Chain A
Amino acid sequence: MTINILLGLAVIICLVGLFFRFSIWFSQGLQPSPSPVTAGQRFSTAVGAVLAALFSSKAILIVRSFFVDLLFQKRIFDKSYLRWTAHTLIFFGFIMLFLMHALDSVVTANFFSDYEPTLNPYLFLRNLFGVMVLAGLGIAVFRRITLKPQRLKTNPADWAALVFIAVIILSGMLLEGSKISSYTTYQNMIEEYGSFDEEESKALEAYWVQENGLVSPHVTKPQPSELVASGMEVNSDSCMECHAPNSSAFASFAVKGVTRPISAIFGDATAVNLFWFLHIVACFSFLAWLPFSKMFHMVSAPVSLLIKGAMGEDDKEAPANQLTHQMIGLSACTHCGSCSLECSSNMFFESFQNDFILPSEKVQYLKDFAAGKVTDEADLKRLQEGLYVCTSCDRCTSVCPSGINLKDIFVTARYSLLEKGIPETSMLSHFSFPLALAQNFAGDHLRALKKVTDLFKKSFQQLSDVNLPMTLSKKQGVDNNSFKGCFSCQRCTNICPVVRSFDNPVESLGLLPHQIMFSLGIGNTELAMGSKMIWSCSTCYLCQEHCPNEVELCDIFYSLKNDAINKMEAGANA
């Protein structure tokens, strides 16, 4: 009765949770400008796309993807045999336990008419599958610990998932172990299935104590072998038909000793009930917890992988589907960290100490961002920097075992955040190059860039703002003091292809290269940092190469840019 109520409760929570997670697929999204598409429209567009795919040649791709990506997990296999082994052990062990053991009355009993949970192969297989899951979990823990220096981040939620599954398996083994040794359980079996005379009972008990791990209050000493032998006969006549030797439940048989102290304290019947309760509660809680945790990937990762399998590289999605696809992707992340391990920007993470530079950490936060839950300015700013400090190498997208289109998510999220109004100074870096190349969100990029340029203008004084005459100052702001060698021959300015590009370079660039050296010479670093020239420098090094007095102009421009960004950041934060 209680079990049915608990099960009912767990199923209801699970279903509500699933509904909640599915509704997020169609109601949330990352986008620079809010789209007018409603959740209903997104749902129907998605159904349309799925039907269209199923009734086209894509169906073959989907079937292929089902076997290759879902069952075989090829994407993991290609990247790491160790991780593939771990996942496969957990995946198959867990699924088989679920079908064969948890759903035995529905599945196993229907397929095999002579099914008894106490018979082999079922008794043995349950243990085998359990041990498989535990071995997989062990590898997963090992991986998380050993890869920590390689920037694999592990959240409490990741440990929780590992512990949860371990508790389910271990409590099951302990339950079986306590049953094996329980005298009450043994007596119940005798009462229910057997009718023995006293002698037979004694022999059987002796045999079960000796061979099947039973702990009997009457049998404490080793029994004579004749008695055990006749017990074995009774066993094979009356019990074997429905009960295989307990030793074939090898894992539970091995851990049965662990349960004895508890049986000794509470009595073996209570101990069995206790472990049963623990096992049932663990399983039901897992069921209820599933939709709200990363274990939801059991549903979303297959969907994500099938979409990836069906979609070609150049297939265009309807905008409504693109949003839905993003949300399915975000929900399919298992925080396995494969993307962060291979992220080309991982050393920038070491320099900036911003977790959001690692793709796996971005995804966690983007879920909240898509839900509109992130409002903290400082967090948003760090997330934005993390999204921008990206080389667009797309490695994360190609390694993701859940087939998430991370590239699309990150690019969209980037412009969606930039829209929020915080100027992003790293836009003034070469991270912008691949974005300009791809020409996605061109308008959004320009708008965001304008915010940075405005911040730049606000942070520095221009030559026109300076009260003349300018005076010498002792303050010097650049490490590279080769500018002291400048004798204003203007070779740099004359060779500069950027200066040459403008009709009125002074107006367009603020200061010309030789003037920047001059302002450094008189100790006015501010003015040098504030000239547009440094951001218009194409870093071609012609000036530096041609300078007759070895002034390292281009390198100085780089440090001026670094300093200017620091000053802008400090000003923006003040």
Chain B
Amino acid sequence: MKYAFFQGCNIPIRIEQYANATEAVFNKFGVELQVIPEFNCCGYPVRNVDEKAYILPSVRNMAIAERAGLDILVICNCCFASLQKARHVLDNDKELKDELNAVLANENLEYKGTVQVKHYLTVLHEDVGTEKIKSKLVNKFKDLKISVIHGCHILRPREITRFDDSFVPAITEELMQTAGATSLDWQGRLECCGAALAGINDELSHMLLKDKINGALNAGAEYITPICSYCHLQFDTTQKNLIEDDKNSKLLPVLLYPQLLGLCLGIDEKILGIEQNSTIQPDDIERLKSLLGPPVEEKKRRKKKKVTA
């Protein structure tokens, strides 16, 4: 299996570890991720200003993937939603498709609509499959409590993103379980991190972020796992900026899913770039590693869980 690896603008420069960890994990399963330098911004940042300008870049990116004969694997939620939205819009609007294709024609590109856009979690969950993941596990977590924050644009609007049940998402749940981690049910897990308002209304943006941090901490989360790159930056950078203003608050460390799974697959923590998460301290990494144990039978673990529950 080989995919065109769509990283967006934030990940290569600000969250390199997300791309590296994802690649390392996929390589374990023989999935090759090809970086395509011609990819440009997905269009998301301009959406408030001009809807058509928002669609065009994604169409170009899909056309480039089509030319390369590859399906697209996305890590950022907002990029994912933009690509899916562009696809959806053009599927239903032939006129716009022709208009945008005319722009692309200058570069000898054409969007036909044959490319598939997949979120990396879908590829892990469906194409690789939890059984295969289990078979490769070297370690498994025990008693690791995680708050997953899905991020909005992967779940909703469901008819566009087509990722998972937008009210009761199960993919992350199962993937967490596979690594032996407990995905907590917490206030805010399906809500907004505030990124979309950053720089426009910082006060509100911070309010939404703090809400989520408190929600996760109150549920007893030891780490937060953001799926989206924007959520990641909110929790890993903005959270830190906020804490600097307020010394009393507790820092909620960020751990990305490929980093978490990577540890279970026996990938070196340096390759996974765990220490590059700015909210994670050396003790956090030590504690994380101390929770790793040999992969136990699923049945036993479930029984145990029932007893403790």
Contact = CB atoms under 8 A, between A and B. Distances in A.
A74 interface: no
B211 interface: yes
A412 B135 CA distance: 52
B242 to A, nearest CB: 11
B41 to A, nearest CB: 4
A565 interface: yes
B243 interface: no
B238 interface: yes
Contacts of A544: 156-157
Contact of A536 (B47, B201, B237): B201
Given A429-B47, A433-B199, A501-B204, A351 B41 contact: no
B262 interface: no
A66 interface: no
Max count, chain A CB within 10 A of own CB: residue among B9, B49, B156 = B49
Interface residues on B, range: 35 or more
A401 to B, nearest CB: 16
Contacts of A427: 199-200
Interface string A38-52: 000000000000000
A537 B208 CA distance: 11
Interface in B238-277: 238, 241
Interface string A443-459: 00100010000000000
Nearest to A425: B49
Residue in A342, A345, A346, A348 whose Cβ sees the most chain B Cβ within 10 Å: A348
Contact of A430 (B47, B152, B155): B47
A395 B43 CA distance: 16
Nearest to A429: B48
A540 B155 CA distance: 9
A344 interface: yes
A512 interface: no
Interface string B54-92: 001100100000000000000000000000000000000
Interface in B1-57: 9-10, 12-14, 37, 40-41, 43-53, 56-57
Given A348-B53, A429-B48, A436 B40 contact: no
Contacts of B51: 558-559, 562
Nearest to A432: B199
Given A342-B37, A558-B48, A565-B48, A350 B56 contact: yes
Contact of A535 (B9, B156, B200): B200
B166 interface: yes
Contacts of A429: 45-49, 200
B40 A540 contact: no
Given A350-B103, A433-B198, A541 B53 contact: no
B9 A344 contact: yes
Given A346-B40, A429-B49, A392 B192 contact: no
A348 B201 contact: no
A535 B204 CA distance: 11
B126 to A, nearest CB: 22
B195 interface: yes
B103 A343 contact: no
A393 interface: yes
Interface string B104-129: 00111000000000000000000000
A436 B46 CA distance: 16
B152 A541 contact: yes
B241 to A, nearest CB: 6
Given A149-B107, A350-B103, A392 B9 contact: yes
B202 interface: yes
B46 A541 contact: no
A146 to B, nearest CB: 11
Contacts of A350: 56, 103
A192 B272 CA distance: 78
Given A542-B156, A542-B191, A545-B156, A348 B57 contact: yes
Interface string A361-401: 00000000000000000000000000001011111000000
B285 interface: no
A497 B12 contact: no
Interface string A390-428: 011111000000000000000000000000000001111
B157 A536 contact: no
A350 to B, nearest CB: 5
Interface in B196-213: 196-202, 204-205, 207-208, 211
Contacts of B241: 439
Contact of A539 (B108, B155, B196, B237): B196
Nearest to A546: B167
Nearest to A343: B40
B194 interface: yes
Contacts of A439: 241
B230 interface: yes
B233 interface: yes
Contacts of B155: 541, 545
A426 B157 contact: no
Contacts of B140: none
Contacts of A565: 48-50
A345 B40 contact: yes
B204 A545 contact: no
B103 A348 contact: no
B16 to A, nearest CB: 12
Given A344-B40, A436-B202, A497-B211, A562 B106 contact: no
A127 B194 CA distance: 65
Interface in A333-369: 342-348, 350-352
B63 to A, nearest CB: 11
A82 to B, nearest CB: 15
A423 to B, nearest CB: 14
Most buried by A among B45, B51, B157, B230: B45
A347 B38 CA distance: 12
Interface in A538-574: 538-542, 544-545, 552, 554-555, 558-559, 561-562, 565
B153 interface: yes
Contact of A540 (B9, B47, B152, B204): B152
Contacts of A466: none
A545 B157 contact: yes
Contact of B156 (A434, A498, A541): A541
B158 interface: yes
Nearest to B40: A344
A559 B207 CA distance: 25
A395 B197 CA distance: 24
A391 B48 CA distance: 14
A434 B44 CA distance: 13
A428 B48 contact: yes
A545 B155 CA distance: 9
A72 interface: no
Given A350-B56, A393-B13, A498-B204, A344 B41 contact: yes
Nearest to A407: B13
**Top 9 A-B pairs ranked by shortest CB distance?**
A432-B199, A541-B156, A436-B199, A351-B53, A393-B9, A540-B192, A347-B57, A430-B45, A540-B152
5 contacts: A393-B9, A393-B13, A433-B198, A436-B198, A537-B196
Interface of B: 9-10, 12-14, 37, 40-41, 43-53, 56-57, 60, 103, 106-108, 152-153, 155-158, 166-167, 190-192, 194-202, 204-205, 207-208, 211, 230, 233, 237-238, 241
Given A394-B13, A426-B46, 19 more contacts: A149-B108, A150-B107, A345-B40, A347-B56, A347-B57, A348-B41, A351-B50, A351-B53, A428-B49, A434-B14, A497-B191, A536-B197, A538-B152, A538-B194, A541-B156, A541-B157, A542-B192, A545-B166, A562-B51
